[in-house]
Structure 1
Amino acid sequence: MNRLYKIKLENIKNVRAGSICFFDGNKCLNLTGIYGPNGSGKTTFVQTISFIQHIVFNGISNSDFSNFRNYLEIFTNLANGFNNEISSIEITLRNEKGDFIFSTHFTVRNDRIEIIEESMKFRSNKKYSRVVELFHYNKYVTNANNSLPISNLRKSEAKKINKKSNLIELLVIAKMVNQDGGSFIFNSEFFNFLRKSNIFKNELLEGINIFRNFCLDLIIVDSQISGSIYTELLLPIGYAVDNSRGFVSLQIDNEDKIYTEQIVNAKKVIEQINKVLPILVPKLTISLKVKEFQDKEGKFTNIVVMGERGGHRYPLKAESDGIKKIISILSVLINVYNNPNATVVIDELDAGIYEYLLGEIISTISEGGKGLLIFISHNLRPLEVIDYNKVIFTTLNEKNRYIRVKIDSNENLRDAYIRLMQLGGAQEPLFIPVTDSKIRRAFRKAKDREY
């Protein structure tokens, strides 16, 4: 079982420094909510973990994720927060053997991210174990003996690397990585090299595989995916059925051509959703309206998602945005409840969902979930139903963006949070109170003409 243990950020957007641990002592948490005012680092966390997923996926050849856009261009905004200072991310995964720690340092050059340094480390769970560096890459520091951008080599590693065939292969990989500015550790050619050679510690290849498996079980529902619900054209459904993970976008009004493999996944996920949906939204189920056609190009299928209540069947477009939001995320919530390897990150979880129902969903996962659900929310209802150690608050201090607030066992976390925002008292300031009189004065001052 691979679990997210900790993630640390430096110089990422509006986060000068911040770290979040997803364990309580030696116990892995199954839920973490992130709360705070606008612009305080909540979405930055979502984008950061998405960036790590793209780094790892970029090294997986012939995968379902090969059609992703170039992550080096997508995520340039991550490194633009502090005058292009070097940005860094450190992420730790924990399993029964120990901690695997991957760190990456990057900046923006020529309008895209360039990874300039990265490392993989390992710490055994045995008592008194220390952190051991397994591999260290630095794009601009080459080894004097072999011109490779790989440092801190052990004597046995350096001897084997200097063997002509190994050296040539690593130099070719280094040149490829240097040209595209991507990851060395998660480069597919380097992965193949590790599998056939016996140069580095076994934990290096093991660590790469652990990060790959973690990212394959990681599903991120960001604000762009959620926002597409409100277009009333497509319904993005996150799914986790059998060994398939990802999203499928389905028409909710007009019919749409769909690939055969997508139909298979869509039917499976709808069957799964219908086992829970009528409990959350009484008497509601969904189905696919399917039509098969034949033309010169061959057979294809048109589908549209339908809702059904009381024997009445209608296009799902007629339902509220809140119901469509629940349907969109329900499969991944079912997965994170049942699968101990699942990690699900949902930005703006509360958007459109009735707050009492939101609290019941969060409470259910908090009490019995086997995986890890990380959610961003502005609705404070979940604070009334989960323990304080499962909540992270963002602060106004850019050098310490994420904190936990300890409260008495008989105190309501929601009330405590409101009190700390209004009166202060937390280890870092959480919010600058703004009175309605100040807002009115600002509105009056901002007018540009007489009406």
Structure 2
Amino acid sequence: MKHNIVRINKIVLSNFKNVKKGIVEMPAYSGKELFSEKADVLGLYGQNGSGKTSVVEALRFVKMLLSGEELPADTKEYIAQGEEECEIDVSFSVAEEVQKETVNYSVALKKDADGFVISHERMTVVPRKENIRAVESTLIDYQYDNEDVTFAPEYRYKKLVANDKKVRVALNVAQAISIKSHQSFIFGEEGYRVFSQSKEDVMGKYSGLFAILQKYALVNLFVINNEHSGPISMNLVLPVAFYLRDGEHITTGDLLIRIDEPSVVTQRQFRLALTIIDGMNIVLKNVIPGMEVEVHNFGEQLLDNGDTGYKIELLSKRGDISIPLKYESEGIVKIVSFLNVLICVYNNPSMCLVIDELDSGVFEYLLGELLAVFSDGGKGQLIFTSHNLRALEMLGKKSILFSTTNPCNRYIRLQNVQTNNNLRDLYLRSLTLGGQKEEMYEETDSVAIGRAFRRAGKAVEAHVES
């Protein structure tokens, strides 16, 4: 499967957090370039609380589901207030060695007495061939409360369980685990084993798609939300997102290293840190001129389990001067936290980095330069949210999506953009003067805000005097 390429086309949210309906199309997809191997960059902009982070969280859930992981207990809070069910629908382009197809994966989450349940999962495929009209085929349509068959289409289910009681039992187990542990029925351990090993007479030529999507979610899709960045803001821990490849063996994850004080790590973590930072420094000293990160090794130290580890500290080095990394700005530390993955995504068309508040602490001009370099020469996909408007001057209009005040049509691209327009200026005019198909800013009243501050101040003084 080393030649397979997977790309996100479109994300559709329904009743997810504060999004009643929201459609997010990647630039390549909106330009009908489904199997492009060039950089595909999408920035999400809008006022606070308007649904930008919802896209990041939805993709985090999809990554967990396709990876066979359990959804967290607080997932029920992501179902919109007043609604019983939410849905996430993601379309992927998959280019295999001998065929191409669009794969659609949708999942519905429903409130119940125990919190929530994965009530519906559906996986469909559309073959892509030139001059041939595409027809969508349903691979699996699972509904947890369907008492007749475990999943539809019924003919696939019957072929799968025919003359094999073990398969029937495995599917029942997969369903029970999905309900109890909030795992995907399709990509949880039991279901995945059955579907990925199914014969061609059951899933046709698409039986390999299960393994392709799971591998993509496990090693090629990175979602960095504010939980990842929180320890950086508190100057406690540096979570270094990484992707390392040695031949066919791929290692990914987050390497957690304390930055508030020297950190004790295992021998494996020490080797990982050296490898990650050596590769990262090639780019870092160009992004932050003259700066490199080095691992200062204080020597061996006995771990709690009796193994031998190392006591280390991350240093920022410029020339002959080295200081602890914790004394660098939050923006620099944040760049260090995701730079390894960004390098890999830049060079791999089948990788995607999703990051919330990319601009947090990052110098405006540097942010624009990074996005321009990635957009011009990269190969993978980058999805980010931001408040810094520099990106609007560096990226094309298809690469920017704006949130609106309408929860039923949450995301739009600006209309009537001319080639000589400055997208930043046009956006700011649209906020104050309108002119777009949806309202993009819930206007505030500066006079009313000032009056409220004075009224609140009087209330505080009265409370102190009493």
State TM-score, norm by structure 2.
0.88
Does 2:429 match 1:410?
Answer: no
Q: Tell me which amino acid in the other structure corresponds to 1:21.
A: E
Q: Tell me which amino acid in the other structure corresponds to 1:176.
A: I
Supply the distance in 1 between the matched residues of 2:353 and 2:448 (Cα, whole angstroms). 39
Does 2:5 match 1:4?
Answer: no
Does 2:222 match 1:211?
Answer: no
User: Could you tell which deviates more after superposition, 111-120 or 175-184?
Assistant: 175-184
- Determine the structure 1 residue equivalent to 2:395: 386
Does 2:434 match 1:429?
Answer: no
- The correspondence for 2:110, drawn from 107, 118, 121, is 107
Deviations 1:142-192 (A, max 9, x none): 21xxxx3323322x6525524352434433333333433432111211222
- Determine the structure 2 residue equivalent to 1:150: 151
User: Could you tell which deviates more after superposition, 125-134 or 105-114?
Assistant: 105-114
For the aligned residue pairs, the C-alpha RMSD in angstroms reads 2.0
Contact 1:13 1:78 in 2 (8 A): yes
- Determine the structure 2 residue equivalent to 1:49: 59
Supply the distance in 2 between the matched residues of 1:116 and 1:275 (Cα, whole angstroms). 47
Supply the distance in 1 between the matched residues of 2:112 and 2:23 (Cα, whole angstroms). 26
**Matched position secondary structure for 1:428:** coil
- Determine the structure 2 residue equivalent to 1:18: 22
**Matched position secondary structure for 1:275:** helix
CA drift of 1:104 comes to 0.7
- The correspondence for 1:293, drawn from 294, 301, 314, is 301
1:25-424 superposed matches below 5 A: 25-27=31-33, 28=36, 30-58=40-68, 70-79=70-79, 81-96=80-95, 97-110=100-113, 112-126=115-129, 127-143=132-148, 148-154=149-155, 157-165=157-165, 166-198=167-199, 200-202=202-204, 205-215=207-217, 216-242=219-245, 243-290=250-297, 291-294=299-302, 297-406=306-415, 407-424=417-434
Deviations 1:243-280 (A, max 9, x none): 22221121224222212222222111101111111212
Q: Tell me which amino acid in the other structure corresponds to 1:249.
A: L
Supply the distance in 1 between the matched residues of 2:62 and 2:460 (Cα, whole angstroms). 49
Contact 2:197 2:207 in 1 (8 A): no
Contact 1:106 1:115 in 2 (8 A): yes
Supply the distance in 2 between the matched residues of 1:173 and 1:202 (Cα, whole angstroms). 22
Supply the distance in 2 between the matched residues of 1:294 and 1:359 (Cα, whole angstroms). 45
User: Could you tell which deviates more after superposition, 376-385 or 251-260?
Assistant: 251-260
Supply the distance in 1 between the matched residues of 2:168 and 2:419 (Cα, whole angstroms). 60
Residues matched between the structures, number: 435
Relative to structure 1, the CA distance from residue 224 to residue 419 in structure 2 (aligned partners, 3 Å threshold; closer, same or farther) is: same
**Matched position secondary structure for 1:200:** helix
Gaps of 5+ in 1: 60-69
User: Could you tell which deviates more after superposition, 223-232 or 44-53?
Assistant: 223-232
Relative to structure 1, the CA distance from residue 424 to residue 310 in structure 2 (aligned partners, 3 Å threshold; closer, same or farther) is: same
The percentage of aligned residue pairs carrying the same residue is 31
Relative to structure 1, the CA distance from residue 315 to residue 450 in structure 2 (aligned partners, 3 Å threshold; closer, same or farther) is: closer
Q: Tell me which amino acid in the other structure corresponds to 2:342.
A: L
Contact 2:401 2:412 in 1 (8 A): yes
Contact 2:150 2:171 in 1 (8 A): no
Supply the distance in 1 between the matched residues of 2:164 and 2:290 (Cα, whole angstroms). 69
Supply the distance in 2 between the matched residues of 1:209 and 1:159 (Cα, whole angstroms). 20
Supply the distance in 2 between the matched residues of 1:241 and 1:171 (Cα, whole angstroms). 37
Supply the distance in 1 between the matched residues of 2:352 and 2:317 (Cα, whole angstroms). 31
Supply the distance in 2 between the matched residues of 1:297 and 1:285 (Cα, whole angstroms). 33
Relative to structure 1, the CA distance from residue 179 to residue 203 in structure 2 (aligned partners, 3 Å threshold; closer, same or farther) is: farther
Supply the distance in 1 between the matched residues of 2:256 and 2:137 (Cα, whole angstroms). 44
Deviations 1:189-208 (A, max 9, x none): 12222344436214553232
Gaps of 5+ in 2: none
